[in-house]
Every structure is written in C-alpha cells, then in structure tokens.
Structure 1
Amino acid sequence: MLIFSLVLVTAGITVLALTLGGGTEQPIAQRIDSDRQEFNKLFSTYDTLSKEYYKDVDENKLINGAINGMIDSLEDPYSDYMNEEEAKSFHENISSSFEGIGAEIQEQEGRIVIVSPIKGSPAEKAGLQPNDIILSVNGKSLQGMSSTEAVLLIRGKKGSEVELEIQRGENTEPLMVKLTRDTIPLETVYAEMLKDGIAKIQITSFSENTAQELRSAINDMAGKGMKGIIIDVRGNPGGLLDQAEEIASMFVPKGEVIFQVEDRSGEKAVFKSKNDRELDVPVVVLVDKGSASASEILAAAVKESAGIQLVGENTFGKGTVQSAKDFDDKSNFKFTTAKWLTPDGNWIHKTGIKPDVQVVLPQYANLAFISPDKELKLSDSSAEVKTAEQMLEALGFAPGQVDGFFDQQTKKAVQAFQTSKKLEATGVVKGKTTLMLMEGLRNKILSNDTQLKKAQELLNKEITK
C-alpha cells in the first residue's frame, strides 16, 4: 500500500515523500491535516486514479506529473521540474563537459528556442543562431515540451547524429539540419592578441571556473604587452550568478554597485564590487542578441558602474534569478526566486540592454543553413536555392539574379566555387559542396566582424590619448 505524506520545508518548498508499506490505510484524502485542506483535490484525484483508472498506473509518474503541472502553471519558462535523468543533465550543464550539439535552449510559449550556440560547437558550426526554433528532433515534435525534456532528446553520445527541424523567422519554411554530436568542453574563456596590443577575450558561458580562467587569460595577455581588452560575451547564454559577480568585480571599481536583487516583497539586496585592484587598460565589451542572463549582469555592471562602452546589438533580456532544489531521489526543480536589476535599478527582462554603440554584422551573417543531404540542382526553385545564391554572392561567385531559381548562371557559379575548392565541378549543391560553402561563409563572417572592428577602433582611440 502506498503511504503518501506531505513535508513542508521552511523555505516554502513543497516536498512529496513516498514510502511503500503493507497494511490497510485510509485514502490519502482522509488523512490530510485539517489546516492543509487546499490539498484535498490533489490527493483525492490521486486516490481515484490509483484505484479506479481502467488500467494500472505508474504511481511515481502521477506524482511527477502533479509537481510538473504545479510548476507549469506558473507560466515561467525558467521554472521547471526535472526527473532524475533530466536533473543529471542540468548539473552537467553547469559543472562538467557533456556530449551533445552545444546550444543553450529555453521554452517560450510552448516552443523550444535557441538562446545561443556555444563557441566551436556543432551547433555553431552548423549555423544555428539565437531565436531559431527547434520544431522536432529526429522526427519527434517538441511542441509543448519543457526545455529539460528537449535537452534529453537533443543530447547523445559523441559521434552520433541528430536531425533537427529548424524554423528561423515566423514566415519561413522549416529546414532539416543534421549534426554530429561532440564533446562540449569545460573551457569557457578564449584569449588572443590582436594587433596594436589589443587582447580579445571571449567568455562563452559562466561556469564554475570561469572567473579563474579569465584571471589567467588577463595575466597571460598582460605578459604579451596588452594595452586594451575586448571582452566578448556575444552568444553567451549566461550561467552561474556568483561567477558574473566575481567577473564584474574585476572591472567595476571597489564599492560600486554590480547588480541588485529584488524579492517578491520588493525588498532589494545590493551587491557591490570587491575589486582590490583596477585594470589600468581601457576595456570595451561586445554583446548581441545571444548575450543573456549572467552576460547581461556583467554588461549592465560595466556600462552603468564603470563607464565601459558596450558595442554590438541589443541583448537577449533575461532579468530573473533561479534556484534549484534537489529531492532525495535525485530529481529536482528550478524556479524563479527574484528579479535582478542593473546598478541604476533598471529591469531589463524581455527588453535587453541597448549597447552604447550599435553595430550589426553584415546581412550574410544571418543567412539560414542548408542541409548537406539536400540536393540543389539546375531548374530547382526553393528557399534553400536562394540561400545558396546569397552565400555564393557573399563569397564572390556571381550566381546571377538572387531569386531562388537555380538557373545556368547559378550552376556556373557553383562550378566555379567547386573548382576553387578542388571539388568535382558538378554544378550541384550537395554534401561536401554544401559544407564547404557554409564553412567559407563562416570564415567570411569571422574575417569581416564589423562589431569587433568597431571595438578595436574605440580602444585604439583610448590607447592613443
């Protein structure tokens, strides 16, 4: 007989404890403490389904479903119940490497949306972008799924393939994208020395060791004659709050506000910089629509409390803080506990942070991807053909009129591209031709990074003052 008891924790967390035992017990609905009558309907439903449903029910599944439904009723994409397998995946995301495609996702109005692909990941290499909608995984629809449920379908062993159905924009045709899963590494900070003594340091997420990685990178760049720093948090989906606070303290003068946290009663806690040494070189921070959560905390802190300029595009707009609570069975749930506010008291939720200097990437940086399995050939007409024409044009191979119709001029452009890459000049876009076309475009975007160039320009002015 199942004995079901309700345990209330001081933090306001409701924990459902299960014990199995023998004997005759009263129905749960008859064993509720008189001061908890609001649970009568829940327990009565459980008793009824357990005894009268037309076939045996999985008792744990009923409990998990009840908890999940309670959290779903909040209509908050950042609050979610996770079973044991989902909870394990959640913890891996923060504290260790994992195997998958390397993209941060979230649920928005019943759809699974990419927040940002991770640098160097299969998702980034395939051209996935912030706000792309994942419609299905290996043919299974994600409609109505939570982000944690979707993650379990998307992740898998290194070397295995997964096919995603992607929609970019409301009125575009979905595209099928096949990716090969890989190991997504722990490393979150990448530094390189550009010309004129300017160091570019990219932070791809805020994990357990990110602050220490950043300190090491700054010290390394300083040893190479660093005169200015570009901190790049474009495409950074966020992560741990304490890491954002520690990193912001490296750039914000001691005692200045980094961010504020406002609870449900309107009480505010103010977090200030503990910086014991200020960097003596100018800094610029790069942001875009994939900069979310902890990235936005850093961006707002340096902008409002350190006078550091932000360059790029409007950020994602996540202004809430989550906590996670573990159950004894290793399942857990995360839920929103507060708002976070910028140093000046602004709530950027759903609006994002506007950069000081707005710079967009070239139009071809927003092109959709083409599945290498799809064949595009003479006389074809489709959205994919138009994308291929746009890619060819961006790479300097004249496809004629860019109209989505694969004509003779398009074929000649494809053959010229294939010849330049030492491929068989078939004039057909498929397989290696598609992959090399997209790789060429990616390299073109990297070499013509208008946002990075503007940041370099601003720093050079500061350095030469």
Structure 2
Amino acid sequence: MKSNAWKIILILALAIGLTGLAFTSGVALGYVAPRFFTDSGEAPPLELAFPQIASGDDIAPDNKADRQELIAPFWEAWDILQNQYVDQPLDDNTLMRGAIRGLVDSLEDPHTSYMDPDEYLQANLPLNGEYEGIGAWVDSEAEYLTIIATMPGSPAEAAGLKSGDWVVAVDGEDVTGMDPSLVIRRVLGPAGTSVRLSIRREGLPSPFEVEIIRQKIDLPSVESEMLEDNIAYVRLLTFGADTAGDLKRALKELLREDPVGLILDLRGNGGGFLNSAVDVASEFIPEGVILIERLGDGEEKIYQARSRGSATEIELVVLINGGTASASEIVAGAIQDHARGTVVGETSFGKGSVQNWVELADNEGAIRVTIARWYTPDDRLIHGIGLSPDVEVLIPESGLDEGEDPQLDQAIEILLGEAVPNR
C-alpha cells in the first residue's frame, strides 16, 4: 500500500471541502469530519492501532503447489470460455475482473467488495471546492447506500428519510451493483443544488422518490440541559475529535446542579472516532473493558476505561434507537455490560466491523475486505445484530405528535423511581 497509509477509523462521517479524500466506509452526507487519509499523508486526529495492511503483492500463499492444484478447474473453465463461447474474442481483463468479483461475492459479506480500476479511480478523485450534502449518516459498506439516521434539522430529515432506507437510484440513474462509495459522490454537491433520490423502504411494495436541496450542515457534537425534576440530559450527535472534551465540560456544568440522575441520548448518532467512543464511555465507567477488537486470525486488542470519569456514580439511563450505530453502540454496549446504567429505546443499527482497502498490483483496482469486528465487554457481537435495550419503547411507524417522546418519558420515570428497569 501507499505510504500515506490507510488509517482505520471507526467513523460514519464524510469530510466536506477537503480535497484528495478517498470515499470509503460509512459517511455522513454533509458533515465535516476527517476521513481515512489525505493526499498530504497527514494522519487523522485519532487513529486506531491497526498497522499498515500488506498489499496484494506481499501476500504469499502458504503452499504454491497446493494453490495451483486448487485453481486448476478455474483455468479449465477459462479455456472453455476462450475457445467455445459464441461471441469472440473475449476480453481477458473483463474475465479477470469478473472472476475477482465472484471470489469476493462468494464470501456473502456485503462489506467486502471489489472496485475495478475505473471505479477505484473515481472513488479517489479529489473534491474541489466546498461541498455540502443532505445531512444523513449513511452506511456505505452495504449492498446499497443505506441511511442510518438523519441529522436534526437536516434536508434529509425534512424529506422523511428513515433508518434502513436504501438509495437505489440518484437523479434517475439506477445504482444497483454500484459500490456505495461511488454513489456518495452522486449525492454530494454544492449547497442550494438539488438531488433526486429513489428510496427503497422495507414494507413498501416499490421505491419512492424524494428531491432534496443540499445544504451546509452545522452539527454540534454535544447538547446538554437540566430537565424538570432535577434530571440532567446530554445528547451526543456524533463522536468527533472534540466530543469527549465537550462532554466533560458539559458534565461538569450539569453536575454542579446535583442532579438526581443523568440521561445520555445516543439516538440518531451514527458514530465517529473509536478513541472518542472509548473516552466518552470512560466518563461513565470507572474501570474495566470498554471494547474488544478482534481480527480474523484471532488477535485481539482490549480497550480499557481511561482516566477518572466525571459521572461514574450518578444514576444513568441511555437512550438508543435504530439510528444508534458504530461508536454509539460501543458506548451503549459498554454501559450495558458493566450494568452502569439502563438502556432504553429500540434495537440499535448493528454496525461494528472495520474494512480496509487493499490496492491490487498493476493498478487493477482494489479489494475492500473486512479485517476486524468489535465486541462488547461481555463478548457480544454488535455487527449485524445491534444492541437490545433493557427497556424497549417502540416509536410507531406513524410517528409522534410534536413534543411527544415516550422513550425520554420512560427514562425520566426510571430515574424518578416511577418505573422499574428490566435488566
């Protein structure tokens, strides 16, 4: 790989207005945040412990003779097609790239994929000038670009997009089979311009279209206030480089009021930096494991609680929903496993894996491969499953009237002793 190295970040945010950024992993369509790497070679503010992954040239088979024997039927099939297929001549590169796609698809992992040279080049083209978006956390590692959550007050929220929605066409162009990292580029654009999305939603018989006017999205990472009955409330909207520090300052102000309890709202939080998630969890968990990071060969890295937190003793309720993903799930899962607080709401999104792009030799594109998964302190897998709340409070599909929030109401009742948490 290139020396400006793919620094793996647990993040669901897209850098806007920075040039030379590769579009990989989950992103936020319209939120300024660092990405995997920049052409300048500068590392992101917070990096994970993964070393540089070897490129395809450096991965040698354990036994070349056995490998050749194993793939002999492949070459037999190749020769049959070259000699007998009706439409001749066949293009060797097309066959080779199709074979790579088949190899990757056989894993049945939507997060592991192949980009041919043209696709990979498009994904790494710089964005010149200032680009904004629709204001939605998205998963760009699934079969389709998938909405995780909309940001408060964003165009995506106004358009009625929901967690789990698939983007199946952009401006009338079907994106089936297109890598979601490339779909992102079609959704981005300057503020004031429009984009037309075709959305497939579970339970609906056919896709529907929405037209969205792009905007510049300003999103604070921490919001806090004192609620009635002397209850402290903190909402985290993302896990950025400054989130842990902002949270510590917010907690300091709230705890001066001597609250009877604290509500940590992680609903609609699509994630962010892993280090930020560990620091945030450490504000509520005095000691012990926060996260287990496990690679395919069984190697593990254990993330422990750091320093003395500000709110390790106050009674705590955590709110989650289907838009709670990635870094948010790490925090909620750690609090839940340590029995440090009660988790209320709906099952979370279930995003807890790391992907890395490995460039192939001779500029033949790249393979995105899942290299690790995250587990809670009690060794629970998050990815594809999500976290189940201790107390489930479902929001009806029809939505809520303005001012209604039964999940928040349940959290308040628990802190006031009016409801018994189910642990």
TM-score (norm 1): 0.63
Note if 1:14 corresponds to 2:77: no
Q: Which sits farther off after the overlay, 339-348 or 218-227?
A: 218-227
Q: Distance in 2 between matches of 1:201 and 1:87?
A: 37
Match among 112, 133, 143 for residue 100 of structure 1: 133
Match among 385, 396, 407 for residue 451 of structure 1: 407
Note if 1:295 corresponds to 2:328: yes
* 1:14 CA drift (Å): 2.2
Match of 2:16 in 1: none
Q: Distance in 1 between matches of 2:202 and 2:283?
A: 38
Q: What amino acid is the match of 2:384?
A: K
Match of 1:234 in 2: 267
Match among 246, 252, 262 for residue 294 of structure 2: 262
CA contact (8 A) 1:134 1:167 kept: yes
Q: Deviations over 1:73-114 (max 9, x none)?
A: 65433345673553478x99xxxx951112233368743321
Match of 1:114 in 2: 147
Q: Which runs of 5+ in 2 are unaligned?
A: 1-50, 59-63, 83-87, 419-423
* 1:193 CA drift (Å): 2.8
Note if 1:342 corresponds to 2:376: yes
Q: Give the SS at the match of 1:354.
A: coil
Q: Give the SS at the match of 1:321.
A: strand
Match of 1:436 in 2: none
CA contact (8 A) 1:112 1:145 kept: no
CA contact (8 A) 1:251 1:306 kept: no
Q: Which runs of 5+ in 1 are unaligned?
A: 1-8, 17-32, 366-440
Which structure features the higher share of helix residues?
Answer: 1
Match of 1:141 in 2: 174
Q: Give the SS at the match of 2:319.
A: strand
Q: Which sits farther off after the overlay, 168-177 or 103-112?
A: 103-112
Match among 276, 280, 294 for residue 247 of structure 1: 280
Note if 1:357 corresponds to 2:391: yes
Q: Which sits farther off after the overlay, 157-166 or 70-79?
A: 70-79
* 1:267 CA drift (Å): 3.5
Q: What amino acid is the match of 1:338?
A: A
In structure 2, relative to structure 1, the CA distance for the partners of 1:324 and 1:212 (3 Å cut) is farther
CA contact (8 A) 1:252 1:275 kept: no
Q: Distance in 2 between matches of 1:342 and 1:259?
A: 5
* 1:302 CA drift (Å): 0.4
RMSD: 3.9
- 1:72-221 aligned at under 5 Å gives the runs 74-79=107-112, 83=120, 86-87=123-124, 99-106=132-139, 110-185=143-218, 187-221=220-254
CA contact (8 A) 1:101 1:180 kept: yes
CA contact (8 A) 1:200 1:231 kept: yes
Q: Deviations over 1:194-253 (max 9, x none)?
A: 222323222222233222232233234335665432111112222322221111111112
In structure 2, relative to structure 1, the CA distance for the partners of 1:55 and 1:336 (3 Å cut) is closer
Q: Deviations over 1:250-292 (max 9, x none)?
A: 11122x1112122222233322112323514222110111212
- Figure out how many residues of one structure are paired with residues of the other and give that number: 344
Q: Give the SS at the match of 2:254.
A: helix
CA contact (8 A) 1:112 1:143 kept: no
Q: Deviations over 1:430-460 (max 9, x none)?
A: xxxxxxxxxxx7xx24x11110111111122
Q: What amino acid is the match of 1:247?
A: V
CA contact (8 A) 2:266 2:319 kept: yes
Q: What amino acid is the match of 2:374?
A: W
CA contact (8 A) 1:105 1:112 kept: yes
Percent sequence identity is: 35
Q: What amino acid is the match of 1:212?
A: G
Q: What amino acid is the match of 2:293?
A: V
CA contact (8 A) 1:107 1:113 kept: yes
Of structures 1 and 2, the one scoring higher in RCO (CA 8 A, sep 6+) is: 2
Q: What amino acid is the match of 1:140?
A: E
In structure 2, relative to structure 1, the CA distance for the partners of 1:297 and 1:454 (3 Å cut) is same
CA contact (8 A) 2:111 2:141 kept: no
Q: Distance in 2 between matches of 1:354 and 1:451?
A: 14
- 1:50-69 aligned at under 5 Å gives the runs none
CA contact (8 A) 2:131 2:190 kept: no
CA contact (8 A) 2:191 2:216 kept: yes
* 1:36 CA drift (Å): 9.8
